[in-house]
């Protein structure tokens, strides 16, 4: 089996976990290729058998390991792109919805991977298209696309159209378009609903709306969203899974479902509902636990 490893290079705990994972996989006879930046950071701690990952080496990994937090997982997904490689998230951070394998269970889970004892969930992405082709970088988001005010004081006005029909003009600090995967991220922090990952929907959630009767809205994921933004600064911020770019207000955005999905490796014990209960304490009643 050929496994690619991606990881956060800024945390010492992550580096130690990466080295541990590499040593374990080598003991199992696995071919290992490491993302180049991560490889440079840990090369002196591993054997020469593990090599840097290169798109030109002709080998397509069977599985990619993302070692870090959910942010690392999003970065890994942006590097995997449409290569159809399943990603397993190993958590060395804090909450970990996408990176949900803890360090104490990593060897057991990796054994399951090596014996093909796992399932794959297909996760939809958002695609952002700019009216003037001014978008930079990777225009796809696994969690969300957020349109936000750039300055500190004034709100922005977001004229929102769904399938060419005017929905609403949001007066707010911003607007989030979230996938089911991203429903537990930024969307949740502004009061948006939670969706199971298999739901074929997107969520439109305002950020600090100036109107009390404007609530988050769930729409089918095959609908197209068009945004026209106005601000006093004549510019605004677009954030795609945390990757940000300043746009001029003349730039209109079209947001739709991406033409491919990200494959996420899941264990039976790591269901969405188990994660809600264990990580968000969803439905937990302290009165019952105290008895």
Cα–Cα distance, 226 to 284 (Å, whole number): 39
d(CA 100, CA 275): 8
- Where do the H-state alpha helices sit in the chain? 12-27, 36-42, 70-80, 106-114, 186-189, 272-279, 286-289
Q: Are 96 and 69 in contact (CB under 8 A)?
A: yes
Contact yes or no for 268/199 (Cβ under 8 A): no
In the annotation, is 132 catalytic?
Answer: no
Tell me the β-bridge partners of 28.
none
- Cα end-to-end distance, the chain, whole Å: 49
> Biggest alpha carbon distance in the chain?
61
Judge whether 6 and 72 are in contact, CB under 8 Å. Answer: yes
273 backbone dihedrals φ, ψ, rounded to 5°: -70, -40
User: How many Cβ atoms from other residues are within 10 Å of residue 115's Cβ?
Assistant: 8
Task: Spot the catalytic one: 62, 70, 133, 285.
Answer: 70
- The crossing angle, in degrees rounded to 10, of helices 12-27 and 106-114 is 40
C-alpha to C-alpha distance for 222 and 202, rounded to whole angstroms: 9
Distances (CA, A) of 266 to 23, 86, 88, 97, 113: 23, 10, 7, 11, 10
Pairing mode of beta strands 31-34, 2-7: parallel
> Where in the sequence numbering do the catalytic residues fall?
70
């Amino acid at each position: 089996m050929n496994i690619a490893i991606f990881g956060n290079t800024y945390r010492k705990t992550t580096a130690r976990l990466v080295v541990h994972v590499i040593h374990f996989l080598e003991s199992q006879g696995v071919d290992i290729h490491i993302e180049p930046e991560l490889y440079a950071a840990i090369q002196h701690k591993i054997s020469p058998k593990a090599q840097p990952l290169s798109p030109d080496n002709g080998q397509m990994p069977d599985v990619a390991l993302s070692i870090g937090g959910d942010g690392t997982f999003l970065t890994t997904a942006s590097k995997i792109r449409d290569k159809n490689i399943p990603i397993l998230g190993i958590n060395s951070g804090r909450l970990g919805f996408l990176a949900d394998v803890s360090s104490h269970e990593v060897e057991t889970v990796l054994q399951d991977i090596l014996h093909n004892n796992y399932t794959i969930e297909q996760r939809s992405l958002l695609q952002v298209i700019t009216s003037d082709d001014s978008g930079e970088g990777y225009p796809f988001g696994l969690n969300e696309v957020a349109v936000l005010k750039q300055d500190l004081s004034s709100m922005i006005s977001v004229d929102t159209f769904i399938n060419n029909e005017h929905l609403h003009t949001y007066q707010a600090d911003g607007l989030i378009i979230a996938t089911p995967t991203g429903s537990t991220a930024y969307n949740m922090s502004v009061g948006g609903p939670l969706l199971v990952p298999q739901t074929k929907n997107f969520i439109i959630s305002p950020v600090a709306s100036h109107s009390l009767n404007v609530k988050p809205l769930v729409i089918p994921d095959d609908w197209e969203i068009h945004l026209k933004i106005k601000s006093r600064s004549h510019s605004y911020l677009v954030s795609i899974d945390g990757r940000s770019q300043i746009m001029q207000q003349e730039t209109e955005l079209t947001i739709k479902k991406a033409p491919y999905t990200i494959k996420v490796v899941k264990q039976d014990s790591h269901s969405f509902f188990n994660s809600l209960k264990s990580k968000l304490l969803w439905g937990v009643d302290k009165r019952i636990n105290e008895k």
